[in-house]
Amino acid sequence: MMASLDAAWVPLLLSLRVAGLATLFALGIGIGVAWLLARRAFRGKELLDTLLTLPMVLPPTVLGYYLLVLLGRHGWLGGWLREQFGINLIFSWQGAVIAAAVVAFPLVFKPARAAFESVDPQLEDAARVLGQHEIAVFCRVTLPLAWRGILAGALLAFARAMGEFGATLMVAGSIPGKTQTLSIAVYEAVQAGHDELALFLVLLISSVCIAVLLLAAHLLPGRIANPIQR
Amino acid sequence: MQLHVDISKTFRSAGRRFDLSVAFQADSQRVVIYGASGAGKSLTLKAIAGLITPDDGRISVDGADFFDSQTRLNLAPRQRKVAYVFQDYALFPHLTVRENIGFGLNRGWFNREARHSRADIDQWLDTLHIRNVADQYPTELSGGQRQRTALARALINRPTALLLDEPFAALDHSLRKLMRKELDQLQRALRIPLALITHDREDVEVFGDQVVHLRDGRVAAGLADALA
């Protein structure tokens, strides 16, 4: 039992770390891009939206392939990182973070854009004539009125990142203790015929995902419909 | 107030085109921009506040240039120091009446009340008789209380001019009369220059020391036929 506990804890902690960091990355970039798409007019805006939504519909293996092309030893970004800094992202847990972030990105970005678009631009204008800089307008008006929608997206993104399999396997592989996340550990356990471990891991990941969804439901119901109430 | 406006801008949306080309000069304390809806009144007022940028022209208030297409001058709204009261007031729904009024006094990045502004806010709550709703949210207010909150929020910053977009349109008839009287008294007490847009003739009678009549995006020739 001790051995199976270890075999479960290590991938669980790795999965939580990878999913947490991936969600933070997706949030940072997703909020910025969502704000641009909601508030600025430029050419190719809807094309950009489509491209950024692609990870939601493309097979994870296709995303993994793209990431390998980009981040691999001879990839555009991978080659440069290796030459300049000696960094190799392939078969590293950081690579798993990038794969999960890309897969989870649309789940942050789409609701964030909708949340920003639901904020009345006149309220932002009101803040401007009251003497506020653009950053203060964003922090004091736009974000407080949009954050519930953004948070809902972030929780879904976290749950999605927890369950990431295909792209992660292609980019980071399945190195026990290093890049073997919970969902990959399930696959490995089933392949190796470790049925008990597989069952335990499956129950574990299911509970974590249920907890996240319950948290989302607890934070959000009724308040999304009426964002005015605190 | 010396108000000099000479601007043009073309709006296009879904195959429709609207040309705004407004030029007038005003030098009274109370200016009314009058016209039917769609005449370009709001656009003109927004251009003065810096909320839309004209394609061409010049705007100056009391000798200070706000916009000049020739010298490529275009002050940001926050630099113009004019107050703007929106037609439906645009109160921040996530902030209380007190926090709404103090909004402009705080120049930080977060919604915290600056300690020095407390007395100032209290004074404005009293002036506009809304102290009893100070800790309520805008959705809990009546129309008159909303307008008073919007006025206090605009005036607490000591603006050089007060711009109002159809200030009484959202109110019912009896409240409209009352609020008109209140604004009249407030303007006289503060001696703040005021520019108000309306399609209501009673507003023209009370505030129209000088009247600019707009029609189809242009200044119409005579006021007489506007009111006839």
Per-residue model confidence (pLDDT) at position A4: 62
CA–CA–CA angle A165, A171, A173 (5° rounding): 70
Give percent of chain B above pLDDT 90: 75
Spatial distance between the Cα atoms of B24 and B180, rounded to a whole number of angstroms: 25
Q: CA end-to-end span of chain A, whole Å?
A: 47
B198: phi > 0 → left, psi -120 to 50 → alpha, else beta; which?
A: beta
pLDDT digits (tens, 9 = 90+) for B174-210: 899 999 999 999 999 999 999 999 999 999 999 989 9
Q: Which residues of B touch A139 (CB under 8 A)?
A: 109-110
Pairing of strands B56-61, B64-68: antiparallel
Whether B228 has a pLDDT exceeding 50, the answer reads no
Helix (H) or strand (E) holding A136: helix A134-137
CA distance A214 to chain B (A): 25
Whether B8 and B54 have beta carbons less than 8 Å apart is answered as yes
Q: A-B interface: how many C-beta pairs under 8 angstroms? A: 72
Which tens digit of pLDDT belongs to each residue from A151-175?
Answer: 989 998 999 999 899 999 999 999 9
Query: What's A141's DSSP letter?
Result: I
Nearest Cα residue to A30 out of A114, A97, A96: A114
Tell me: pLDDT of B218 over 60: yes
* Lookup result for tokens 């997206």: A153
A131/B104 CB distance under 8 A: yes
Query: Bridge partners of A48?
Result: none
Kindly list the residues from chain A whose CB atom is less than 8 angstroms away from the CB atom of residue B77: 125, 128-129
Helical axes A93-117 vs A60-71, angle rounded to 10° = 110
Nearest CB among B94, B137, B153 relative to A145 is that of: B94
Angstrom CA distances, A20 to A82, A100, B185, stand at 26, 10, 58
Q: What is the pLDDT of residue A226?
A: 45
Q: Would you call A126 and B92 a contact, using CB atoms and an 8 Å cutoff?
A: yes
- Return per-residue pLDDT of chain A as tens, 230 residues: 455 677 788 999 999 999 999 999 999 999 999 999 999 989 999 999 999 999 999 999 999 999 999 998 888 888 888 888 888 888 999 999 999 999 999 999 999 999 999 999 999 999 999 999 999 999 999 999 999 889 989 998 999 999 899 999 999 999 988 999 999 999 999 999 999 999 999 999 899 888 888 887 776 645 444 444 44
Phi, psi of B125 (to 5 degrees): -60, -40
Closest chain B residue to A137, measured at CA: B109
Mean pLDDT of B43-65: 94
> Do the chains contact at B51 and A129, CB–CB below 8 Å?
yes
Q: Which residues does B contribute to its contact with A (CB < 8 Å)? A: 49-51, 76-78, 80-84, 86, 88, 90, 92-94, 103-104, 107-111, 137-139, 153-154, 157
Dihedrals phi, psi of B163, to nearest 5 degrees: -105, 130
Q: Cβ(B130)–Cβ(B148) under 8 Å?
A: yes
Query: With 0-12 CB in 10 A as exposed, 13-18 as middle and 19+ as buried, what is A99?
Result: buried
Q: Looking at CA atoms only, how far is residue B110 from chain A in angstroms?
A: 6
**What gap in Å lies between CA A179 and CA B199, rounded to an integer?**
68
- Which chain A residues are within 8 Å of B153, Cβ to Cβ? 130
ipTM of the complex: 0.91
Average of per-residue pLDDT across B133-158: 94
Chain CA centroid to CA B76, Å: 16
Query: How far is CA A222 from each of CA A130, A159, A219, B92, rounded to the nearest angstrom?
Result: 31, 22, 9, 20
Cα separations in angstroms, A39 against A32, A36, A112, A145, A161: 11, 5, 12, 15, 28
Q: What is the pLDDT of residue B227?
A: 54
Contacts of B107 in chain A (CB under 8 A): 131-133, 136
- Confidence (pLDDT) at A230: 40
The CA distance from B50 to A33, in Å, is: 26
Which residue of B96, B109, B124 to mutate against A (max A Cβ within 10 Å)? B109
CB contact under 8 A, B50 and A145: no
In whole angstroms, give the CA distance from residue B32 to residue B198.
7
Tokens of B63: 């000798």
* Contact across the interface for B90 and A130, Cβ inside 8 Å: no
Integer Cα distance of B158 and B104 in angstroms? 10
Which residue ranges form the domains of chain A, and what is each CATH number?
2-219 (1.10.3720.10)
Cβ(A11)–Cβ(A184) below 8 Å = yes
- Here the tokens at position A24 are 């933070």
User: How would DSSP label each residue in A36-83?
Assistant: HHHH---TTHHHHHHHHHHHHHS-HHHHHHHHHHHHSTTSHHHHHHHH
Residues of B in contact with A133 (CB under 8 A): 78, 107
B53-75: average pLDDT: 94
Q: Give, for B197, the enclosing helix (H) or strand (E).
A: strand B194-198
Cβ separation A129–B77 shorter than 8 A: yes
Chain A residues with CB-CB distance to B103 below 8 A: 127, 130, 140
Helix (H) or strand (E) holding B32: strand B30-34
Picking from B80, B90, B139, the nearest residue to A228 by CB comes out as B139
- Record: contact B77-A228, CB cut-off 8 A: no
Residue with tokens 């159809």: B166
Confidence at residue B164, expressed as pLDDT on a 0 to 100 scale: 96
Given this model, what pLDDT does residue B84 score?
A: 96
What b-and-e string marks burial along B57-78, b requiring 16 or more CB atoms within 10 Å of the CB?
A: bbbbbeeeebbbbeeeeeeebb
- Distance from A110 to chain B by nearest Cα, in Å? 23
The model's pLDDT over A69-104, given as tens digits with 9 standing for 90+, comes to 999 888 888 888 888 888 888 899 999 999 999 999
pLDDT of residue A75: 84
